[in-house]
Amino acid sequence: MKTGTTFLQTRVFPYLRGVTYVHGMESFYKGRFFTFGDLAPLLISNEGLTGSWYKDREFGLNYFERFQYSIKNIKRYFNQPKLIVVFREPSSFIYSSYKQSLHERGTLWWDSFFPFETLSKDELAQFEFSRFVNVLLENFSKEELLLLDYEELKESPASFVDVIMRFCLTEEAYQANNQVKFPIHEKSNSAVSAEYEGLFILNNKLSNFTRERFGFSLKRQVGGYELSINTLGRMLLPKSKKQKKPDNLSSIKAYYQQDWEKTAMLIKDLRQ
């Protein structure tokens, strides 16, 4: 799921010894590592494997259905896979998805991105994550699953990484990684500040227009970095000390609280 993936994909997985790390399915199919000798266990990180409920300004609420298909297909496609899945409190997950959408050419304001007050019960149920955990348990044994709470990453990145290493590495590889310096405390990519959302949305609209009309967008890749008004804005524009969040975010959190407590308990029980 799209939770904690940037942290893992940039600060942990590339540095792991004892695995062959692949970021995304495209690099898996294009990879030449099959010709370089005996492979270590394959570690694939791709949040898209479990589905997405928004992409390129498409808004869809069949997230749970996509997840079900995904888990069944992963089990069918791969040979005895083990899964690492990180869950996040639903209101935080949804709002983080909104922020990410603004990084990905999104042009919707929050109230249109997730119209909480007008969604049906079935649509809102797409983020009842206890159902997702049950799907995982129906398809995989407990030994094949590592389920994590995003709060664990926030509270202790080092412990979070250690749990993952113990799950996916052999004892020999785990000991070899004890000497690895993971850059887990580096500064994260800055989020889109609420006071500048309008500026980012306007820039995305202009960039989408130039892409569709003239064949180019208002961002460029320079080396491994993206150069755009959005990236410059995140780095240079002054930030408020207290981030303003949508007024209805607390109501969304309250709506999902009971199911999230159930989800957190399932995750905890699975690890014991």
**pLDDT per residue as tens, the chain (272 positions):** 667 788 888 889 999 998 888 887 666 666 666 666 777 788 888 877 777 776 544 556 688 988 999 999 999 988 889 999 999 999 999 998 898 888 878 888 999 999 999 999 999 999 999 999 999 999 999 999 999 999 999 999 999 999 999 999 999 999 999 888 888 876 665 566 677 788 888 888 888 888 788 887 776 666 656 666 666 666 656 555 456 789 999 999 999 999 999 999 999 999 88
Task: Return the closest-CA partner of residue 111 out of 254, 249, 5, 267.
Answer: 249
Q: Where are the domains positioned within the chain?
A: 5-187+248-271, 194-242
pLDDT at 82: 94
Which CATH code for domain 5-187+248-271?
3.40.50.300
pLDDT at 233: 62
225 DSSP β-pair partners: 222
pLDDT at 189: 57
- Angle (nearest 5°) at CA 80 between 76 and 82: 105
Burial track 221-231 (b if 16+ CB lie within 10 A, e otherwise): eeeeeeebbbe
219 DSSP β-pair partners: 228
pLDDT at 57: 47
Whether 47 contacts 5, CB under 8 Å: yes
pLDDT at 220: 65
Distance of alpha carbon 50 from alpha carbon 70, whole angstroms: 5
